[in-house]
Structure 1
Amino acid sequence: MEWQVKVWTDLGESPWSEASSWEAGLLGPGDWSARWIEPRDAEPRPPAGDRPAHLLRRDFLLGAPVKRARLYATAHGIYEAFLNGVRVGDLELTPGYTAYRDNLHVQTYDVTELLDEGANTVGAVLSDGWFRGRAGAMRIADGFGERTALLFQLHAEHEDGTVTVLGTDDAWTTSTAEIIAADLMDGQQSDLRRAQPGWSMPGFDASLWAKASVASGGLYDDFARLTASPAPPVRRVEELRPRSVAVLGSGHQVVDLGQNINGWIRLALPAAAELSLTHGEALDADGDVTTDHLRGEDFQSGEPLPAGQVDRVVTGDRAGGVFEPRHTTHGFQYVRVEGARAPLTPDDVTGVVVHTDLRRTGHFHCSDDRINRLHEIADWSFRGNACDIPTDCPQRERAGWTGDWMLYVPTAAFLYDVAGFSIKWLRDLAADQWDDGCLTNFAPDPGGRAVQHLPAEILEMFAGSSAWGDASVIVPWELWRSYGDLDALAEFRPMMVRWVEFAAERARTRRHPGRAASRPEAAPHEEFLWDAGFHWGEWTEPGVDENAFRTADHGAVATAYLYRSASLLSRISALTGHPEEADRYARLAEHVLAAWRTEFLAEDGALTPNTQATYVRALAFGLVPRHLRAAAAERLVGLIRDAGTHLGTGFLATPYLLPVLAETGHLDVAYELLFQDTEPSWLTMVDRGASTIWEHWNGIDEAGVAHASLNHYSKGAVISFLHNFVAGIRPPADPDPESAGYRRFEIAPVPGGGLTSASATLDSPYGTIASAWRIEENGAFTLTVTIPPGSEADVRLPDGRSFRATPGTHDYSCPTGV
C-alpha cells in the first residue's frame, strides 16, 4: 500500500510528502507452509562454545521470470541467509534475542534481484546464538533448547501472474561449516581450509551432505509466536581504523581501536597462519590485553569463569581474504593478536561497530571540552549496549538487566528513537512474568516462567528486586513522556498491575529479620513497608562493601519504589480508561507514602539511612513533604560537602542527583559535582582516558588497574542533566494527552559551572526542537529556541521571566546576565 501526507499548521500548509509504502508479511500461522528443519548434530554433542556452525542448502527451479520476491526467515540460533552465492540483506545476529518461547521475530527480505529464471540455490549459515549458546554472567548454555533450527519461506511472484512458494523441508541438506566453533560469549573459531566454495550456488555437489531433519512438536508447532520486530535491526553501523598496532616483547601484537565498542574486527589474512585474537577493554602494566576484570563467577562453585571473547582462525595456503566473525560479538577496545608472522599495520585491521541501527535524534554541545567528551563517552556506552536488547555490558554478561534500562531510557530517548527498541524488550519482560506477578531482573530470561518453581535459594539474585522490577512501570511511562504513545501504556498496564500487586503483597506479608528482631510486634504501617526479600538496593555506592546488600535492610529503597510505581500506575490507569483502578492505586500509593515517612523520615527532615542516595531518591520521588524539602536538600548538600564535594550515590540515585540539587536551589553544588575531577566523579573517567562509562567509579584506578566492566551505561545517565538543565529542553514530568511526546514542553536552561555557551537539538515527534544560549562579552545571556509545528513551549530565562513560545524560531535575552 502507498500513501502521501501533508500537514496543516499555524505556519500554513505543507507540500505533499514523497510516496511511502508498506506491505503485509505472513500474518498468521496459516500463512506458513514451511517446516522447521534441524542440521545434523554430532553425537554426542560438543559442549557449548565448541559447537560448529552448520550450512544448510536447497536447489530449486523457477520456471518463469521473477517480478517480485520475498524471503521470510527466522531460526533457533543465529542465521545468515544466502541466495545464489550472495548474502541476503545487511542485518546481523538475526533473528535477534527474544523470549523465544513466546516471541520469535521473522525477518523479511526483498530478494527480487537475487533470483534467476531456471536454477537457483537458497542456503543458510546457522550457529548457536542466544538460543542455545552460552549466555549471561554464568555462561549457562542451552537456555532455550538443545538444538538449532531454521525456518525459511520464499515467495516469488512471476511476470505471468503465478506464484512459487518454497520453504524449508526434507529436501534441504546440511553440512558443518568452516566455522568450527561459534559462541556469542566465547568467540568464533574458523578453519578456512574447511571452506566449501560455491556451497550456496547452483551446480554445487552436495552429494556427501546429510539430509536435514524436519522437526515437530513443542515450540516447532507454535507458529503463533512468530512475529515482526518493532525495533530496528542490528547492523554494522560504523567502521574504525585502529589508532595503533604495537608489537610486544612476547611477540604478541596489540591493536588499539581508540574506542571501546561492541562488535568485531575484520582482519586481512596472511597465508598459512594460525591466529588467536583476544579482545579486551584494558591493558596491563606490560601493555598487553588483560581480561581478568571481566571474568564472571560460577554461582554454585564460586570459581571464576573464562572471560571469553577469543576468536581463532586457521588460514588456507593462499594469502588474501579477510576474517570477519559475524557469529559472535565482543566488547573491546584492544585486541591481542597471536600467531602473526609479520607485523600488522592499521590498514590490516578494521574495527566493526555492531549494534541496533537506531535513528539519532538528539545532540548536545557546550563550551567545555571535557563535558563534551563526557557526553560522547556516555553516547558510545549506550551504543555498545544496544545490541538487539538494552544490555548491562557488551562483554562479561550482555544481559538485559531491567534496572539498567529503567535508569537510562530517558537519556536514550533524547539521543535516539528508542520507542520500538523498548517495546520489543518490554514484550519479552511481560512474556516472562511469573504467575504471582514477580519479574526476573533481566529480560529476556532463558529460564522464563519455568524458573519460578525452583527452590527459593536458587532464585536468589534473579527475581523480585525492587527498582529492577519497577522497570515494568517506569519504562512505559518514560516512553509516554517522550513519544506520547498511549498504546504502550495500555499494552503493558496488565504487567504493571501484576508487578505492583506482587510488591504490595510482599510488603503486607513479610518483614526484614532485623526489623522483626528489634520490633517483634509489627507496627500498623508495616503493612505497606516493603523491606523483606531480595533487593539489589542502591548498588555500587562508593566506599560500600559490594556484598553488604545481601543482608542489608533495603526497606527505604523498596518502599520508595513501591510508592513510585503505585503512583504512576494510578496515573496510567486514568490515562487508559480504568478510573476505579486509578483510585485503587492512588490509595495504595498514599498508604505506602505514609509508611515510608513513618519509618524513614524525622520531624526535622532527617532521613534514615543517612546517605546521599536516600535524600536524592526521597526528593526526586516526592517522598519528603513540601515544608521539609529545603531541610532535606540542605542535609543532602551537607553529606556532599562532608565527602569533599564528591558524590556518594550508586546505581539507582545517580541519575537524579544533579537534577534534585538544581531543583532545590543548589545549582552551584550540581555544577561542582559535574566538574569534580577527583574520584569518585564523571570527569575522573574522562581524565583517565575512558571512551565509555565505567561500571564502578574506579573502573581504572590511580595505578591504572582495571576493575569490573568498563562499558556500563547507567552512570552515563548524568548527561540528561546536560539535555534538560544545561540546554534546558524538558518534557513535562506528568504529561496528559495534550502535552505528551513534546507537544507541550519547557525550555529552561540554567547556566553555571563557568560554561559560556551550550546548545542541544531534539528531533521530537513534532519536529526539531532547538535550544542554544551564550553569555556575551558584556555578560548578557542570549537564548535562541526553535519550536516545531503543532507544539508549544514555556521558555524560562535565568532571571525568572517566562514566555509562551509558539512554532518558529525565537530570540530572548536577560539584560543583566547570570
Structure 2
Amino acid sequence: MRSLYLLLILLGLTVSAHAQVAVNSLTCEHLVNPMPLDAKKPRLSWKLNSPQRNILQTAYQIRVASTADFGKKSLIWDSGKIPSAQSILQEYAGPALQSAKRYYWQVKVWDNQNNESLWSEAAWWEMGLLNPEDWKASWIEPELTVNTKSMPPPPLTRKEFSLRKKIQSARLYATSHGLNFMVINGKKVGEDLFTPGWTAYQDHLQYFVYDVSNLLTPGANAIGAVLGDGWYRGYLAWEDNRNVYGEKLGLLAQLVVTYTDGSQQIIGTDASWKAQNNSAIRMADLYNGETYDARMEIPNWSKPGFDDKGWWAVNVVSFPKNNLIAPQGPPVRRIQELKPQKIITTPQGDKVIDFGQNITGWIRFKVTGPAGTTVTIQHAEVLDKKGNFYTTNLRHAKCELNYTLKGVGEETFEPHFTFMGFRYIKIINYPGNLSAENFTAVVIHSDIKKTGDFTCSNPLLNQLQSNIQWGQRGNFLDVPTDCPQRDERLGWTGDAQAFSRTAAYNYQVAGFFNKWLNDLIADQGENGGVPHVIPDVLQRKEKKNITGSSGWGDVCTIAPWNLYQVYGDQRLLERQYNSMEKWVAWITTKAPDGLWKGGPHFGDWLFYQAQISNPTEKSGYTDPDYIATAFYANSVEILRKTAQVLGKKTDEAKYAALFDKIKKAFNHEYVAASGRTISDSQTSYVLGLNFNLFEEKNRAAATAQLVRDIKSRGNHLSTGFLGTPHLCHVLSDNGHTDVAYDLLFQESYPSWLYPVKMGATTIWERWDGIKPDSSFQDAGMNSFNHYAYGAIGDWMYRVTAGLEIGQVAYKHILIQPQPTPKLSFAKASFQSSYGEIVSGWERQGEKIKLTVKIPANTTATVTLPTKDASAVREGGNPVANAKNSAKGVVVEVGSGEYVFEF
C-alpha cells in the first residue's frame, strides 16, 4: 500500500513538472501549417510557455512523421535530445523530403528548472511539387485573338471529368499568366485573392495549392477558371503602359485525386479544355475597376452537364516549369468588413457614402431593379473643401464599378480582379432608396498577422498609430506598394526601406518581405543597380544597365538587415548577400574616391519646402550627393556586419576599410571644422549622425546644429522620406529626447499630427496633402494612403514605450522607456518569435509604475529612468540586483511578468 502511495506521489510530481513548461505556437518557415512548401530543409520554430520566472530552454527534441499519431512505422526523423537554447528556425535534418507529401511534426523541451514538457500538439507542413517533371499538366491559353491595347473580357475555361473510386484526398495545384479564379462544381476554390500574386514573372512564378477534397463527388465533376489581366498584362504605372510581361493569359492547373486504395488520378490543363470570353465580366483592370453585366451570366458553366458545344478549344503552349515556386509570403485575402458611417448628399447633389476609414479593398452591394439598369460606383479618399467628391488625385485610374442588373429579385455584386483605395464612394443611378444596409466595404490585403501595438494617454498619438497600421495594411497587398488608389500602386524601394523596421513591429512580415526581396534579386541589374520599384516595370528592358537611386536601391541592404534583427533569419542574409555586394560594388565604381556624386537621385523626397509667400524661409533642402554618399557608407557598414554574421572575415575587413575611406572623404567634402554641414539641413545632420559619419569631435556640434534648426522653426521638422525615419532616434540617442517629443506632439504643419488634426485615417504622402486652408496639394502626386512617414512608429515603440532588441530576434530584450511629462501613460506590446513582450509605464502621483512581460527562453535588461536604485520596488519589494548607471537604474531579469515602481 505504501509503495502504491509513493508511486502516486511520483506520478503527481511528474505531471506537475510537465505542467511547468509547455510548447506551443509551432511554425515552419515563419508560417503556420504551410502548404505548399518547397524549402528542402525547412526550419521549425516554437514558443515556450511557463508560469515560472527565469525559464530558459536547455534542450529540445523534434520528431517528424507521415501521420499525426507518430507511430513507429510512420516516424521519419527523430532529432533526439539536443542540448540547445535555440527555439527558432531550427533546421529539419531528416531524410530528403518528397513532392506533395504532408509531414507532421512536434517538439518537446527541457528547461533550466529541471522541467520536461509534454510533446506539443502536432503541426504539419506539406511539400509542393519540387521538380518540373512533377507537373503533368500543360500550359494552356484560352484566348483566340486579343487586342493588346484594350481591356478584353476575362476568359473562362473549363473541363468535365469523372472520378471512378472512393476519394481519400484531392489537391489542386494552380498558377497562371494573369490572375486566376478557380472553381470546382460551381464553388470557388479557397479564400485567396489575386493569385498567383505579383512576382518578377520573367524569373519565377508562384503556384498555389488547395485541399479540394470536399468539393469533389464520385462520378461527374467539372473544374473551371476565370482569368484576369492583373499585373501580368493590365495597366501598370503610367502612359498607357500595358502588357508588361506578356500579351496572352494562360493557365496551368493540376488536380491530383488520391483514392482510398492508394491509386491516383490526375486531371490537368491540356487540349481537352474549352474556353470562351463572352461572360458577365466585361472588363477587369487593377486601376480602372470592373464592369459586370449580370444579364450575360452563364449559369452552371463550372458544373458537370453544362453544354459547352459553342466554346472553342484552348491552345496548348510551351513554357518552362522550372521557374514555378511555392508562395513565400501570405496570400491576399478578405480581412475585414466595414459598414457605412453616414450617407451624404454633397453640395453638387451627389449621393456619397462615408465609411469613416480610408481602406484598400472594394465594395459589395445589394440592389433590386429593372433589367438593364447600370449602377456605377466611384471611389475617393477625400472630399474637397466644399464637401464634394474628389477624384483628381487618382490621375488616370478610373477606380469604378459598373454593374448592370439582370432584373431578377435582389442581386449582390462584388468585383473579382480589381481593388481600390477609398473612404468614400459615389453611387450613380441606384434604383430605389439608398440604404446603408445594402453597402459593405471589404478590406483586403496580404494576410499578415498583427504582432504589435502602441497606445498612450494622448488620443492624437493613438490615432497616429491607427493611421500607421491602416496605411501598412492598405499598402501591403502582395508587394509593399506606395499607394492603393491612383495609377501607380508600385513596390517603391525607398518607401519600403524607410518603413521596414516599423512594419516588423506592427505585423509579422518575415514571409512578406522574404518574397519581395527574392523579386529584388531577380530584377536587380546585371551591373548591380537596383530598380526604383520591385517588381520592376519601369526599367525591365535595361536589365544590363539598371540605374539606382540612393536611399531607394539601399533597400537591398537595409531591409534584409532589419529583418534579420527582428526574426533572426540568417538564411535570408545568406540569400541576399550577393545582391548586397553587387549594389555596393556598383556604387563603388561611381565613387572611386569615396564620394557618390551625380546620378538619378530622388534625394530627401518630399521634404518640407518654404512657402512662396516667405522666400527667405529655409526650405530644408539637402544636397543629393551628400545623401548619396551617406547611404553608400551605411550600406557598406551593413555589408560589413552581415559579413561578420556569416563568418566572412576577409569581406568584413574589406568593408570596414571601405567605410573608413568613405567617412574620411565625407568629412573632408561636406563637413566644416565647426561641425556644420554644407547643406545645413535637418536631414544632413540626421544622416551624418545616424550613420556614424561625423568625426567624434564634431558629433556634439552637429547635434547642436540639428536642435538649433528645429527650434528655429518653432519645433517643426523639415525632413523628407530619407531623413524622417531617423530624426527622433538621432535626437534621443544624443541626449535630446525632449526635442524629439516636441516634434512628435507638434500639431501644426509640417508634423506627424497635422494630418491627424485634419481628419486623416491613414498616413499621407505629403506633409500637407490637405493644406491649412483645406485646399489640396498638387493632384499629380497627392496620395492620402502612403506609409513612409509612418516610420515614426518605430520610435514610439522603441523609445516612448522602450521596447527594443538587445540580441537578434529578441533573444535578449532591452526595456528602456523614456517617459515624457506630456503623457500619463504609454504601453507597447510585441509578439516576438519567442513570445509576447510588453513594456508599459504610467504615472501614479510622483511615481512611475512600469509593467514588463518577458517571454520564456529570453532575458532582458530593464533600464529605469531614475537615479536612485534603492528606491526601486518590484512587486512591492526592494530589487536586490538594481544598479545605478549613466542611463538610469539597471535591472537584469529573466522571463516572467514584473511591476516596477520608482
- TM-score, length of structure 2 as denominator length: 0.83
Alignment partners' CA distance in 1, 2:609 and 2:538: 34
Q: Distance in 2 between matches of 1:729 and 1:293?
A: 38
Q: Match for residue 51 of structure 2?
A: none
Asked whether the equivalents of residues 347 and 386 of structure 2 are also in contact (C-alpha less than 8 Å), the reply is no
User: Which secondary structure does the structure 2 equivalent of 1:465 belong to?
Assistant: coil
- Structure 2 counterpart of 1:303: none
Matches for 1:107-186 after TM superposition, within 5 Å:
107-176=208-277, 177-186=279-288
Give, in whole Å, the separation in 1 of the partners of 2:394 and 2:702.
39
1:545 and 1:533 map into 2 onto residues whose CA distance is 28
2:554 maps to what in 1? 470
* Partners of 2:498 and 2:788 within 8 A in 1: yes
The 2-side partners of 1:452 and 1:786 are apart by 49
Q: Which residue of 1 aligns with 2:522?
A: 431
Equivalent pair of 1:269/1:320 in contact (CA under 8 Å): yes
Return the match for 2:603 from 537, 549, 553. Answer: 537
1:717, distance to aligned residue in structure 2 (A)? 0.8
2:464 corresponds to = 374
Deviations, residues 574-607 of structure 1 (Å, cap 9, x unaligned): 2112211111111111111111111111111111
Q: Hey, what does 1:702 align to over in structure 2? A: 772
Q: CA deviation at 1:310?
A: 1.3
The reply on whether 1:280 has 2:380 as its aligned counterpart is yes
SS at the partner of 1:651? coil
**Does the 8 A contact of 1:796 with 1:803 survive in 2?**
yes
- Offset of residue 720 of structure 1: 1.1
Q: 1:724 aligns with which of 798, 821, 830?
A: 798
CA distance in 2: counterparts of 1:466 and 1:326, whole angstroms: 38
User: Secondary structure at 1:758's aligned position in 2?
Assistant: strand
For the Cα contact (< 8 Å) 1:403–1:441, is it kept in 2?
yes
Q: CA deviation at 1:248?
A: 4.1
Q: Which string of whole-angstrom CA distances, capped at 9 and with x for unpartnered residues, describes residues 32-81 of structure 1?
A: 111111122445x1634x22111110000111121000000111111110
Task: Give the secondary-structure state (helix, strand or coil) at the position aligned to 2:283.
Answer: strand
Are the equivalent residues in 1 in contact too, given 2:187–2:215 (CA < 8 A)?
Answer: yes
Post-superposition CA distance 1:385-411 (Å, at most 9, x none): 000011111112110011111111110
Counterpart of 1:32 (choices 127, 132, 135) is 135
What percentage of aligned pairs have identical amino acids?
A: 40
Determine the C-alpha separation between the residues in 1 that align with 2:611 and 2:237: 23
User: Equivalents in 1 of 2:171, 2:537: separation in Å?
Assistant: 31
The 5 Å alignment of 1:47-126 reads 47-48=149-150, 50-126=151-227
Q: Pick from 80, 104, 116: which aligns with 1:2?
A: 104
SS at match of 1:224: coil
Tell me, in whole angstroms, the C-alpha distance in 2 between the residues paired with 1:226 and 1:319: 44
* Residue type at the aligned position of 2:264: V
**CA 1:373–1:314: 2 relative to 1, 3 Å:** same
What is the SS of the residue equivalent to 2:353?
strand
Q: Which runs of 5+ in 1 are unaligned?
A: 296-305, 509-526, 733-738
Cα separation, partners in 2 of 1:699 and 1:9, compared to 1, 3 Å: farther
Spell out the pairing of 1:344-363 with structure 2 (5 A cutoff). Answer: 344-363=434-453
Aligned residue in 2 for 1:422: 513
* SS in structure 2 of the partner of residue 619 of structure 1: helix
Q: Distance in 2 between matches of 1:545 and 1:626?
A: 36
What is the CA-CA distance between 1:236 and the residue it aligns to?
A: 0.2
Partners of 1:419 and 1:479 within 8 A in 2: yes
Match of 2:899 among 800, 811, 814: 811
Where does structure 2 lack aligned partners over 5 or more consecutive residues? 1-102, 613-617, 867-887
Query: What one-letter code is carried by the residue in structure 2 that aligns with 1:67?
Result: Q
Instruction: Give the structure 2 partner of residue 687 of structure 1.
Output: 757
Query: Which residue of structure 2 lines up, in the alignment, with residue 484 of structure 1?
Result: 568
Which one-letter code corresponds to 1:575 in the other structure? V
Q: Determine helix, strand or coil for the equivalent of 2:591.
A: helix
Q: Aligned-pair distance for 1:453?
A: 5.7
2: CA distance between counterparts of 1:469 and 1:231? 22
Tell me which amino acid in the other structure corresponds to 2:421: G
Per-residue CA shift, 1:132-157, capped at 9, x if unaligned?
A: 00012445111101111111000000
C-alpha displacement of 1:102: 0.9
**2:309 counterpart letter in structure 1:** S
In 2: Cα distance, 1:658 partner to 1:14 partner = 44
Residue equivalent to 1:187: 289
Distance in 1 between residues matched to 2:450 and 2:590, nearest whole Å: 41
Cα displacement (A) at 1:446: 2.9
Q: Is 1:321 aligned with 2:406?
A: no
The 3-state SS of whatever aligns with 2:322 is helix
* Code of the aligned partner of 2:855: P
**Alpha-carbon distance change, 343 to 625 in structure 1, aligned in 2, over 3 angstroms:** farther
Q: What is the match of residue 617 of structure 1?
A: 687
> Which among 812, 815, 823 is matched to residue 744 of structure 1?
812
Partner of 2:503: 412
Cα RMSD (Å): 1.8
The answer to whether the 8 Å contact 2:525/2:544 transfers is no
SS in 2 for 1:5: strand
Q: Counterparts of 1:544 and 1:186 in 2: how far apart (Å)?
A: 36
Displacement, 1:209?
A: 0.9
Counterparts of 1:772 and 1:285, CA distance in 2: 40
Is contact 1:247-1:343 (8 Å) kept?
A: no
CA deviation digits over 1:729-764, x for unaligned, max 9?
1114xxxxxx21000121100001511111111111
Q: Which has the larger radius of gyration?
A: 2
**Counterpart Cα distance in 1 of 2:360 and 2:260:** 44
> Residue 253 of structure 1: CA displacement?
1.5
**Greater alpha carbon shift after TM alignment, 286-295 vs 748-757:** 286-295
Could you tell me whether the CA contact under 8 Å between 1:237 and 1:355 is conserved in 2? yes
Does the 8 A contact of 1:98 with 1:428 survive in 2?
yes
The answer to whether 1:293 aligns with 2:403 is no
Aligned 8 A contact 1:121 1:200 in 2: yes
CA distance in 2 between counterparts of 1:652 and 1:310 reads: 34
Distance (whole Å) between structure 1 residues aligned to residue 274 and residue 153 of structure 2? 16
Shift of residue 251 of structure 1? 5.2
Alignment-derived partner of residue 352 in structure 2: 254
Matched, 1:23 2:107: no
Query: Residue 395 of structure 1 corresponds to which residue in structure 2?
Result: 485
Rounded Cα–Cα distance in structure 2 between residues aligned with 1:192 and 1:478: 49
Letter in 1 for 2:177: H
Q: Give the aligned residue type for 1:258.
A: G
Instruction: Report the counterpart of residue 75 of structure 2 in structure 1.
Output: none
Residues 143 and 249 in structure 2, CA contact (< 8 A), matched pair in contact too: no
Q: Does 1:198 align with 2:300?
A: yes
**How far does residue 103 in structure 1 lie from its aligned partner after superposition?**
1.6
Name the CA shift for 1:507/1:753 in 2 (closer, same or farther; >3 Å): farther
Taking the aligned partners of 2:610 and 2:234, their CA distance within structure 1 comes to 35
- In the TM superposition, what are the counterparts of 1:595-606 in structure 2 within 5 Å? 595-606=665-676
Distance 1:398 1:408, change over 3 A: same
Three-state SS of the structure 2 residue aligned to 1:4 is strand
The aligned amino acid for 2:850 is L
Alpha-carbon distance in structure 2 between the residues aligned to 1:364 and 1:594? 40
State how many pairs are aligned.
Answer: 764
Q: Which amino acid aligns with 1:23?
A: E
8 Å CA contact 1:672–1:753 kept in 2: the answer is no
Match of 2:857, SS state, is coil
Look up the SS of the partner of 2:221 in the other structure.
strand
CA distance in 1, matches of 2:391, 2:483: 14
Change in 2 beyond 3 A, CA 1:224/1:757:
same
Q: Partners of 1:319 and 1:278 in 2: how far apart?
A: 24
- Tell me which residue corresponds to 2:862: 795
Q: Is the 8 A contact 1:280 1:291 kept in 2?
A: yes
Specify the code of the residue in structure 2 equivalent to 1:186.
Answer: N
Q: Distance in 1 between matches of 2:419 and 2:433?
A: 25
